[in-house]
């Protein structure tokens, strides 16, 4: 895009490409203070144009890329996210030294093409590096966060050669605001490339399309490993790497859904009693870490948000139990795994549903409203309902309809004014319903023929000599 067109993007315009002030939710702004510290404030989306218009452009300033249901940027409060992004620290790459922002842009575009990645909708020069952004046609809701995270991880891996920051890929991330200064370089953050769509606006992608391109395996094709080993049942910690394949997508999605179930359970019960708070906090945080939506470095920030959700004035979230969880989270991130009974598990806790049901005393009525924390019997009931729905969609009739249409239920012999045995001996005649006509049936046992006339569904009969 020509320079004049790129310069049309100010902070509000760029933010408006993935934030919608008409939606409910919150965003956060982070500003660097003169003393070197930072100040964060959260605001309603409706106030975004006003807030960004008041930002001091002479100070380092950052904006959340996602939107939240509460006035903080913790991932547990995520509402939706309208883009994929990668923060490229090109200044750390030897080949990039001395290159202009435009030259860096060309390098990023070339690598995306070479890697088979869709062209970014926007490329932003942050003052030292490049921010690549892929705008979405519709925002990804919180329920799809594990899949969004998987796409983010894949983008970072593919863009490692241009300095993609592996720590800057979570939904709570803040990136620099357009037209504000980067005090480390003295440069101004600005848009350096816009990929136009057919309508002349920045191109937008379907999230399903990006996921199909980026994820090595589609969500419905993910296999669950079922190998059985005969080794002695014992626990041992196995060393791993950060690139371990232990963290499968299906496991992350299950962990996120379990977190959501526990939060819903609290709403169903109208809150959590004081003695139950730490139990809820511990397991929510465990599933949050297991989902990959956050990491050990942000664990206590997320714990604080979860604690306030349980009770606004409860701040006792730095217990020994959470210290143990923190250590397990570090092992998880290092790719370590626990081997038990010949199978490998995450160092974080992966309880069975029955364990959670017993631990939280979840009733059958509550389970019916939950997504994943359900008993085997409840799962079987849902499976039957799904199968019934599929059969109906395929044109099958339900049992009640079938039985109402069955000959044994409708008693067609009554329409002829005869017994069931006589009807069978006569060959089970079934004249068209509602038609007027006559038929002669021969009753061998009675030695006569019976004339039956059907008139508007009513039968009149008479006997004749054989």
Residue 171 or residue 216, greater confidence = 171
298 and 158 within one domain: no
80 and 156 within one domain: yes
127 and 18 within one domain: yes
> pLDDT tens across 28-37, in order?
999 999 888 9
State the average pLDDT for the chain.
Answer: 82
228 within a domain of the structure (yes/no): no
130 within a domain of the structure (yes/no): yes
Asked whether the beta carbons of 437 and 453 are under 8 A apart, the reply is yes
Residue 357 or residue 441, greater confidence = 357
- What local confidence, expressed as pLDDT, does residue 12 receive? 80
- What local confidence, expressed as pLDDT, does residue 230 receive? 41
Q: Which among 301, 320, 350 is the end of a domain?
A: 350
Cα–Cα distances in Å, from 148 out to 252, 306, 324?
11, 22, 28
321 and 282 within one domain: yes
Lowest-pLDDT range, 73-87, 176-190, 425-439? 425-439
The residue-averaged pLDDT of 15-20 equals 95
Asked whether the beta carbons of 100 and 182 are under 8 A apart, the reply is no
> pLDDT tens across 373-399, in order?
999 999 999 989 888 888 888 877 666
Confidence of residue 275 (pLDDT cuts 50, 70, 90): confident
The residue-averaged pLDDT of 415-425 equals 78
> pLDDT tens across 129-182, in order?
999 999 999 999 999 999 999 999 999 999 999 999 998 999 999 999 999 999
> pLDDT tens across 296-339, in order?
999 999 999 999 999 988 877 777 778 889 999 999 888 888 87
Residue 459 or residue 352, greater confidence = 352
319 and 208 within one domain: no
130 and 41 within one domain: yes
Lowest-pLDDT range, 235-249, 349-363, 402-416? 235-249
293 within a domain of the structure (yes/no): yes
Most confident of 39-53, 219-233, 380-394, 395-409: 39-53
The residue-averaged pLDDT of 263-278 equals 92
**Rounded Cα–Cα distance for residues 78 and 152 (Å):** 16
> pLDDT tens across 104-123, in order?
999 999 999 888 899 999 99
**Rounded Cα–Cα distance for residues 435 and 379 (Å):** 49
Residue closest to 78 by CA, chosen among 59, 92, 65, 62:
65
197 and 247 within one domain: no
Query: Domain range holding 414?
Result: 407-465
255 and 332 within one domain: yes
196 and 307 within one domain: no
Overall number of domains in the chain: 3
Confidence of residue 403 (pLDDT cuts 50, 70, 90): low
- What local confidence, expressed as pLDDT, does residue 405 receive? 58
Angle between helices 353-360 and 277-290 (to 10 degrees): 160
pTM of the model: 0.70
CATH of the domain at 129: 3.30.70.1790
Confidence of residue 232 (pLDDT cuts 50, 70, 90): very low
185 and 71 within one domain: yes
Would you say residue 409 has pLDDT above 80?
A: no
297 and 175 within one domain: no
Torsion of CA 380, 386, 392, 398, to 10 degrees: 20
182 and 115 within one domain: yes
- What local confidence, expressed as pLDDT, does residue 236 receive? 44
Output the six-digit token pair for 244. 């371990």
Would you say residue 354 has pLDDT above 50?
A: yes
- What local confidence, expressed as pLDDT, does residue 100 receive? 93
- What local confidence, expressed as pLDDT, does residue 431 receive? 59
**Rounded Cα–Cα distance for residues 385 and 106 (Å):** 54
**Rounded Cα–Cα distance for residues 168 and 191 (Å):** 19
- What local confidence, expressed as pLDDT, does residue 216 receive? 66
Number of Cβ within a 10 Å radius of residue 70? 16
């Amino acid at each position: 895009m020509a320079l004049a067109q790129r310069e049309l993007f100010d902070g509000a315009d760029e933010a408006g490409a993935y934030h919608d002030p008409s939606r409910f939710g919150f965003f956060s702004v982070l500003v660097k203070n003169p003393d070197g510290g930072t100040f964060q404030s959260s605001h309603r989306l409706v106030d975004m144009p006003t807030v960004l218009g008041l930002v001091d452009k002479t100070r380092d300033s950052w904006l959340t890329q996602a939107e939240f249901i509460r006035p903080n940027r913790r991932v547990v409060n995520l509402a939706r996210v309208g883009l994929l992004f990668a923060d490229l620290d090109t200044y750390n790459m030897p080949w990039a030294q001395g290159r202009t922002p435009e030259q860096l842009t060309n390098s990023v575009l070339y690598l995306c093409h070479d890697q088979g990645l869709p062209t970014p909708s926007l490329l932003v020069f942050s003052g030292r590096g490049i921010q690549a952004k892929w705008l979405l046609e519709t925002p990804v809701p919180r329920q799809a966060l594990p899949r969004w995270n998987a796409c983010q991880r894949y983008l970072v891996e593919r863009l490692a050669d241009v300095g993609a920051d592996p720590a800057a890929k979570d939904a709570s991330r803040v990136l620099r605001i357009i037209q504000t200064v980067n005090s480390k370089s003295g440069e101004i953050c600005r848009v350096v490339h816009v990929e136009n769509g057919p309508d002349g606006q920045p191109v937008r992608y379907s999230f399903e399309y990006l996921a199909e391109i980026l994820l090595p395996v589609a969500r419905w094709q993910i296999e669950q490993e079922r190998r059985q080993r005969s080794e002695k049942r014992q626990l041992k910690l196995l060393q791993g790497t950060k690139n371990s394949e232990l963290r499968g997508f299906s496991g992350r999605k299950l962990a996120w859904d379990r977190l959501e179930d526990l939060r819903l359970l609290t709403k169903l019960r109208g809150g959590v009693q004081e003695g139950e708070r730490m139990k809820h906090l511990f397991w929510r945080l465990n599933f949050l870490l297991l989902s990959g939506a956050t990491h050990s470095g942000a664990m206590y920030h997320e714990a604080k948000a979860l604690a306030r959700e349980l009770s606004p004035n409860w701040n006792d979230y730095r217990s020994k139990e959470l210290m143990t969880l923190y250590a397990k989270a570090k092992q998880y991130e290092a790719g370590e795994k626990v081997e038990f009974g010949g199978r490998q598990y995450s160092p974080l806790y992966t309880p069975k549903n029955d364990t959670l049901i017993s631990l939280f005393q979840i009733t059958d009525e509550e389970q019916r409203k939950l997504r994943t924390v359900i008993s085997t019997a409840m799962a079987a009931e849902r499976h039957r309902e799904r199968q019934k729905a599929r059969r109906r969609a395929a044109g099958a009739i339900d049992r009640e309809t079938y039985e109402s249409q069955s000959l044994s239920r409708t008693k067609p012999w009554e329409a002829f004014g005869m017994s069931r045995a006589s009807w069978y001996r006569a060959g089970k005649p079934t004249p068209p319903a509602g038609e007027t006509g006559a038929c002669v049936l021969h009753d061998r046992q009675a030695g006569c023929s019976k004339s039956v006339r059907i008139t508007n569904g009513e039968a009149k009969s008479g006997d004749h000599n054989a």
